[in-house]
A and B are shown apart, each in its own frame.
Chain A
Amino acid sequence: MSAISRDDVSHLARLAHIDIPSDQLDHYAQQLDAILEAVATVSAVDTADVVPMSHPVPSTNVFREDVPGPSLTASEALAGAPAVEDDRFRVPRILDED
């Protein structure tokens, strides 16, 4: 039984901004299924008494004082940008928006 549907694959592809032709959706659904199945072996572990962990270290309240530190210059910040205009990052318009 396939747990991942064609619709799931198509939804994930949209979220990840990748194009998957419709004739390949089944192919990826099967692959994702196999991967999930492999990972699912961890669910065999009895976790009834285990508190879910989101961080590997059991610490809380790690704060920084509100004191300004060094920033980059505009030319340093923009050095890796594929396109620059007026000291700003130039990006393609990707969504209709505000």
Chain B
Amino acid sequence: MSEAVISYDEVLEKFDPVMGLEVHVELGTNTKMFCGCSTEFGAEPNTHVCPVCLGLPGALPALNKIGVESAIRIGLALNCTIAEWCRFARKNYFYPDMPKNFQTSQYDEPICFDGYLDVEIDTDEGRKTFRVNIERAHMEEDTGKNTHMGGATGRIHGADYSLVDYNRAGIPLIEIVTKPIEGAGKYAPEVAKAYVAALRDILRNLGVSDVKMEQGSLRCDVNLSLRRTPQDELGTRSETKNVNSLRSVERAVRYEMTRHAARLLAGERIIQETRHWHEDTGITTSGRSKSDAEDYRYFPEPDLVPIAPSREWVEELRAALPENPAVRRARIQESWGLSDIDMQTLINADLLDLVEEAVAAGVSIEAARKWYTGELSRVANEREVDVASLGITPATLVRIEELIVSGGLNDKLARQVLEGVLAGEGDVDAVIAARGLAVVSDDGPLLDAIKDALAADPSVAEKIASGKIQAAGAVVGAVMKATRGQADAGRVRELLLEHLGVSE
């Protein structure tokens, strides 16, 4: 059920927002955090499981070294201190997504803490850097995947049940938690989005995760509260779970600000609760209430020994960190020869990685930029999704460009081909075949179409013959129309003049 909201401008007049962002990232290790089961996505249900991740009695965890190493590298990239000694803890709860009845996590001894990440946002005074302080980054494990059955309207509540696949249970997760983000004011939604985007860049750059928000390997929870003035104490917060695209992070912050403000102005309390984000309607709805304070009965995990990363190891990992994304951008801009504005356009639209991927696959820089900032952005905008989730592969753009260069497609047809690919009609060649979109290169049908056009308006032929060659435009237009844009206009013109025995 949707709740009352007020305008964003009114929120800003009366309140000061404070955010906290929790990001879970699934590591791209070969195996799970505590057992040797594969982490591969999309396997048959319950085939990447073993006694450890199924929580069978007597099974003992064995810690993945790369999981720990990745956590330290993430911490270093986020300017964190790396703990000299820390432990895992059991977070106890009853829920069938964790067959052990606890999640192995870290509690008061996170492996990384006290860091920061500088993000850039556009403000009325130009581009500005905003520092987001990081509270901690700790290691834990993902849960199984529940599929809820029944429960539709009209079903007896008691008939509801869930089906659980534990392939995901035990996949290494790093949870990265910010300190309260204060002082962002009206730019709070942009700061939240820029933070998650910058974090994603860093994680991808470290090679620790594929950071696919649409597949859930990067997930964001948005905590938000309002207070009257920055001098006031923090207000009660809501926690919006699983906000899974950059665009949604921005929208969820904005929505929660307008919802909180409406409640507070109406004299109501903010309930401390988790909220569900609805991508389609852009609102949140009430989830689990946290008023019945959660009690996870954390205690140190007795089956895993403490982790004490030596300073030598930490410094070795620090020295081997890859180029910082900001530095990388400067390098790309120079090698592609882009202006500041062109570069910013790609970054702001979150297209740099996609364009770079396409360029790496062999698409020209100019064509890759044109497709992503033009047609693909337009379609994404129309569908209200991120361009990345359109699922256009570099191979598609490579093939389209090949066909344009060889004369098999023109721009107009290429757009129709893309439309077909986006509609799931198959790859480029399949769409061309199914829709009959190739450029007509056979002169026979073109000549027939020219003759038809001339027959429809015989005066044009006379004009052209008497030297008014510009009149050819009308015929070329008619032929293009008759061939549904599939002719090469230059060739039509040549054929027309040849047919009338006129030379330019």
Q: Does B305 contact A (CB under 8 A)?
A: yes
Q: How far is the CA of A85 from the CA of B147 in the complex (A)?
A: 11
Q: How far is the CA of A69 from the CA of B146 in the complex (A)?
A: 25
For window 10-46 of chain A, which residues contact chain B by CB distance below 8 Å?
11, 15, 17
Q: Does A3 contact B (CB under 8 A)?
A: no
A67 to chain B, nearest CB (A): 7
Question: Which of B30, B47, B67, B92 has the most C-beta atoms of chain A within 10 angstroms of its own C-beta?
Answer: B47
* Pair B37/A89 contact, Cβ less than 8 Å: no
Q: How far is the CA of A90 from the CA of B37 in the complex (A)?
A: 22
A73 to chain B, nearest CB (A): 7
Q: Does B49 contact A (CB under 8 A)?
A: yes
Q: Does B369 contact A (CB under 8 A)?
A: no
> By DSSP majority rule, is chain A's interface helix, strand, loop, or mixed?
loop
Are A68 and B37 also in contact (CB < 8 A) when A89-B96, A98-B276 are? yes
Q: Does A59 contact B (CB under 8 A)?
A: yes
Q: Does A48 contact B (CB under 8 A)?
A: no
* Pair B162/A66 contact, Cβ less than 8 Å: no
Q: How many residues of A contact B (CB 8 A)?
A: 38
Q: Does A1 contact B (CB under 8 A)?
A: no
Interface stretch of the complex, out of B38-46, B125-133, B450-458: B38-46
A71 to chain B, nearest CB (A): 5
Q: How far is the CA of A17 from the CA of B66 in the complex (A)?
A: 37
Question: Which of A65, A78, A93 has the most C-beta atoms of chain B within 10 angstroms of its own C-beta?
Answer: A93
Q: Please, which residues of chain A bring their CB within 8 A of the CB of B96?
A: 89, 91, 94
* Pair A68/B30 contact, Cβ less than 8 Å: yes
Q: Does A2 contact B (CB under 8 A)?
A: no
* Pair B305/A57 contact, Cβ less than 8 Å: yes
Q: How far is the CA of A97 from the CA of B242 in the complex (A)?
A: 12
B366 to chain A, nearest CB (A): 41
Q: Please, which residues of chain B bring their CB within 8 A of the CB of A74?
A: 44-47
* Nearest B-chain residue to A57, judged by Cβ: B305
* Nearest B-chain residue to A56, judged by Cβ: B302
* Pair A71/B163 contact, Cβ less than 8 Å: no
Q: How far is the CA of A60 from the CA of B84 in the complex (A)?
A: 11
Q: Please, which residues of chain A bring their CB within 8 A of the CB of B305?
A: 55, 57, 59-62
* Pair A85/B307 contact, Cβ less than 8 Å: no
Q: Please, which residues of chain B bring their CB within 8 A of the CB of A77?
A: 46-47, 49, 54, 166
Are A93 and B164 also in contact (CB < 8 A) when A62-B305, A71-B49, A98-B276 are? no
* Pair A92/B161 contact, Cβ less than 8 Å: yes
Q: Please, which residues of chain A bring their CB within 8 A of the CB of B307?
A: 60-61
Partner of B63, one of A63, A67, A73: A63
* Pair A61/B308 contact, Cβ less than 8 Å: yes
* Pair A63/B162 contact, Cβ less than 8 Å: no
A86 to chain B, nearest CB (A): 6
Q: Please, which residues of chain B bring their CB within 8 A of the CB of A62?
A: 62-63, 304-305
Q: How far is the CA of A59 from the CA of B165 in the complex (A)?
A: 35
Q: Does B65 contact A (CB under 8 A)?
A: yes
Q: Does A72 contact B (CB under 8 A)?
A: yes
* Nearest A-chain residue to B309, judged by Cβ: A61
Q: Please, which residues of chain A bring their CB within 8 A of the CB of B46?
A: 72, 74, 77-78, 87-89
B110 to chain A, nearest CB (A): 16
Are A89 and B164 also in contact (CB < 8 A) when A77-B54, A78-B46 are? yes
Q: Does A47 contact B (CB under 8 A)?
A: no
In the complex, per-residue mask of B260-277: 1 if CB is within 8 Å of any chain A CB, else 0: 000000000000000010
* Nearest B-chain residue to A63, judged by Cβ: B65
* Nearest A-chain residue to B293, judged by Cβ: A11
Q: Please, which residues of chain B bring their CB within 8 A of the CB of A78?
A: 46
* Pair A66/B163 contact, Cβ less than 8 Å: no
* Pair B164/A87 contact, Cβ less than 8 Å: no
Partner of A73, one of B47, B67, B146, B241: B47
* Pair A63/B64 contact, Cβ less than 8 Å: yes
Q: Does B288 contact A (CB under 8 A)?
A: yes
Partner of A91, one of B67, B161, B288, B297: B161
Chain B contact residues, CB within 8 Å of chain A: 29-31, 35-38, 44-51, 54, 62-68, 85, 87, 92, 94-96, 146-149, 151, 160-166, 241-242, 276, 287-288, 295, 297, 300, 302, 304-309
A63-B68, A67-B30, A72-B51 given; 17 more Cβ-contact pairs under 8 Å:
A15-B295, A54-B87, A55-B306, A61-B308, A66-B30, A68-B37, A71-B36, A74-B45, A74-B47, A77-B46, A88-B45, A88-B164, A89-B163, A92-B162, A93-B160, A97-B146, A98-B242
